[in-house]
Amino acid sequence: MNPTPPLTAGTLTAAALDAAAAVARLLPSTTPLTATPAEPGARPAPDEIAVVASFVGSASADLVIIAEEAVREALLAAADAGSPLALADALRPALEAACAELGAGVLDAATTATAGEAVASDAHLFALTHDGVTRAWFALRVRAEPVPAREAGIPTQRAGLHVLYDVEMTLTAELGRTRLPVRQVLELTPGAVLELDRTAGSPADVMVNGRLIARGEVVVVDEEYGIRITQIVAGSDGIA
């Protein structure tokens, strides 16, 4: 994992496209989606529901996902299973994946608004399509492009992030992953065994906002689980 440099005019378009592609991958849609820059004049209907969140870090940006129709089946399946899921919660993993493409920082809580209110005229707008049909939208607006450190008289990117040092971030430990179709997820019962994608004894991943920062072994501390860090992943110091 390589540290992400601050966004500039030269890298913003590429970063926005990478963020849109990450959203397309993580949306809980029943059909695979592809992110492409919106055609001139193409925009979501102004009364569609948009999920909006702000990102603060090496860049400050507003992220917008309009995907209620695309994830409707997933929301209905969750409700039928007795675990209703709010639209903002369903889209949170996609928002976090988009932020991971923007560099180190913090994503705030998501809110809802209408697309007409949420999608700024100067935002990078992407259509999320399946077989040429637009199923959802993603918009990214960087609120202020950072001035290069030398021109601003700032020593480094790290110094500019000192204002975030007291912000709490959630760390998660991941033993492994697996993929299941929604049908099998809904059929899970107590006692079911899921096979993960790593062998017994492999280190656990330590994640921040979906970004891998370290690996370690599971330990017990005062009758509670803990992680003993055994490896810092290269480039993770960009989060500090």
> Which domains occur in the chain, in start order?
9-152+158-164 (3.40.1550.10), 169-239 (2.30.330.10)
Asked if the model's pLDDT at residue 44 lies above 90, the reply is yes
Q: Indicate the average pLDDT of the chain.
A: 81
Tell me which of 50-54, 115-119, 157-161 is least confident: 157-161
Please write the tens of the pLDDT for every residue from 197-221.
888 888 889 887 667 888 898 888 8
Tell me which of 18-22, 47-51, 227-231 is least confident: 227-231
Asked if the model's pLDDT at residue 173 lies above 50, the reply is yes
The pair of three-digit structure tokens given for residue 143, joined into one six-digit string: 């609120």
Q: What's the confidence (pLDDT) of residue 127? A: 96
More reliable by pLDDT, 162 or 217: 217
Q: What's the confidence (pLDDT) of residue 85? A: 80
φ and ψ at 158, to 5 degrees? Answer: -60, -40
Locus of tokens 């569609």: 48
Per-residue pLDDT averaged across 132-158, rounded? 65
CB 62 within 8 A of CB 140: yes
CB neighbour class for 103 (10 Å; exposed up to 12, middle 13-18, buried from 19): buried
Q: What's the confidence (pLDDT) of residue 209? A: 66
Rounded-to-integer distance, Cα 33 and Cα 190, Å: 33
Q: Do the strands 211-221 and 224-232 form a parallel or antiparallel pair, or are they unpaired?
A: antiparallel
Rounded-to-integer distance, Cα 140 and Cα 54, Å: 10
Per-residue pLDDT averaged across 11-23, rounded? 86
Q: What's the confidence (pLDDT) of residue 144? A: 59
Q: What value does the CA radius of gyration of the chain take, rounded to a whole number of Å? A: 20
Which helix (H) or strand (E) element contains residue 126?
Answer: strand 124-130
The set of residues, in sequence order, having a beta carbon less than 8 Å from that of 208 and lying 6+ positions away, is: 169, 170, 171, 172, 239
